[in-house]
Amino acid sequence: MATIRFGKMALQKLELPPVGGRLTIYDEKVPKLALRVTHNGTKTFYVVKRAGSSMAWVKLGVFPEMTVEKAQAEAERILGEFASGANPAQARRAFKAEPTLTEFFVEYGTRHGEKKLSWRDDQQRFRDYLQRSLGDKKLTTITRADVARVVSGAENAGKAAATVRQIRALASGIFGKAIEWGYLETNPAHGVKVVGRVVSRDRFLQPDELPRFFAALAEEPSVAMRDFILLALLTGARRANVCAMHWREIDLAAGNWRLPVTKNGTPQTVTLCPEAVEILKARQETTTGGFVFPGSGATGHMVEPKKGVIRIMERAGIPYGRNEVNGVTLHDLRRTLGSWQARTGASMAIIGKSLNHKSQQATAIYARLDLDPVRAAVNTATAAMLEAGGLKPSAEVVQLPKQGKA
């Protein structure tokens, strides 16, 4: 058994073994600390210790990324674990087999999440908040402080209290199932508090912004992105519903889009204005499969249009994002339809029905945006938007120029 006193210079000067061979040497200072050298120059630290009837090789790291000093300190710690009767090699193998939060979320969806009415929204919240910060962490390493940072991050970004509570509830539900299925013993989301700051937005596209918005939209090279944004604007539908729009839900002859399940847990019939019908007819000729906006991911449909929306808003010179002064978000397109309905005379009941709000309290925001008499509906509002954007005179169905990729 070859031994040397480990040091940076000594390890750098080691001769490499022949092709196909490997060299193992041990440290004189920490005798159970080994360095395995391959013919291509990879040098890996291990702790080598008998555990029962076999030898345990616990990998520490690769030299020089792991220094000699760090390897010696880690070796001493692990040898202490052996002395207490533990087997760090077995523990590390078990840890390696433990799922990350992202991996567990797949199981969560298969066994539970897909049955929930809110599953589409849950997937989006997981991607937007939990996966970004915690997705690569092993389940047992996620702490209450980790979850609290996600929640406070959403609060600091200006998200409404209801949204932050939904993020926390999703995290708690995921970890609750992890406990039920034997992965965890405690729920790290328990005890995480939501400040409860209520954020009420009333931002929508203004008449002087519409010409720039539609001009930027017409220049968008992706036809799919352009059509998505137009349909989001013209229907007032939620992002998740437009992303997952399916041809079986659409009756072009009647001008209806029937959503079997929505965020509110109730079905909804969305009125399709003439321009929306024309967009869908064009997409029907150029797309294949069941989804109006097909995608290459696991869902089979478009998932995250945010980058395209930002690109179009930048081209239009309209600030994007909650944290920008007077910034617009994708959800504000939904609010834009409601605002223009109010502007053209629609009653709160009509606005609430077209946007599938459960209560008039939810639609009250539109009443304070405009005091015009109430008497119109979706077609009048969308026609007014397009006319204000300089795209059509009264009673004309507008067709945007076709360009880019579907």
The mean pLDDT value for 92-108 works out to: 74
Give the range among 196-210, 237-251, 355-369 with minimum mean pLDDT: 355-369
Q: Provide the percentage of residues in the chain whose pLDDT is more than 90.
A: 23
pLDDT tens digits for range 268-289: 788 888 888 999 999 998 888 8
Q: Which domains does the chain have, with CATH numbers?
A: 2-97 (3.30.160.390), 101-180 (1.10.150), 210-388 (1.10.443.10)
Q: Does pTM top 0.85 for this prediction?
A: no
pLDDT tens digits for range 191-237: 888 875 544 556 777 888 888 888 888 888 899 999 998 888 888 88
**How far is residue 320's CA from residue 342's CA, in Å, rounded to a whole number?**
24
**How far is residue 16's CA from residue 40's CA, in Å, rounded to a whole number?**
8
Please tell me the predicted confidence (pLDDT) of residue 374: 32
Please tell me the predicted confidence (pLDDT) of residue 265: 65
CA 206 to chain centre: 29
Give the model's confidence band at 370: pLDDT under 50 very low, under 70 low, under 90 confident, else very high. very low
Radius of gyration of the chain (CA): 29
The highest-confidence range among 54-58, 76-80, 344-348, by mean pLDDT, is 76-80
pLDDT tens digits for range 133-149: 999 998 888 999 999 99
Decide if pLDDT at 393 tops 70.
Answer: no
Supply the angle between the helices 223-235 and 331-343 in degrees, to the nearest 10. Answer: 40
Give the range among 156-160, 212-216, 380-384 with minimum mean pLDDT: 380-384
Give the model's confidence band at 308: pLDDT under 50 very low, under 70 low, under 90 confident, else very high. confident
Of 208 and 8, the one with more pLDDT: 8
Please tell me the predicted confidence (pLDDT) of residue 394: 47
For 130, which DSSP code?
A: I
Q: Where are the beta strands (DSSP E) in 211-255?
A: 250-251
Lookup result for tokens 């969308």: 382
Give the range among 93-97, 154-158, 206-210, 253-257 with minimum mean pLDDT: 93-97
The mean pLDDT value for 116-144 works out to: 90
Nearest to 219 by CA among 400, 388, 406, 397: 400
Give the model's confidence band at 352: pLDDT under 50 very low, under 70 low, under 90 confident, else very high. low
**How far is residue 126's CA from residue 135's CA, in Å, rounded to a whole number?**
9
Of 350 and 28, the one with more pLDDT: 28
Structure tokens at 376: 């119109």
Please tell me the predicted confidence (pLDDT) of residue 18: 87
Structure tokens at 201: 């937005």
Mean pLDDT across the chain: 79
Strands 22-27 and 2-4: parallel
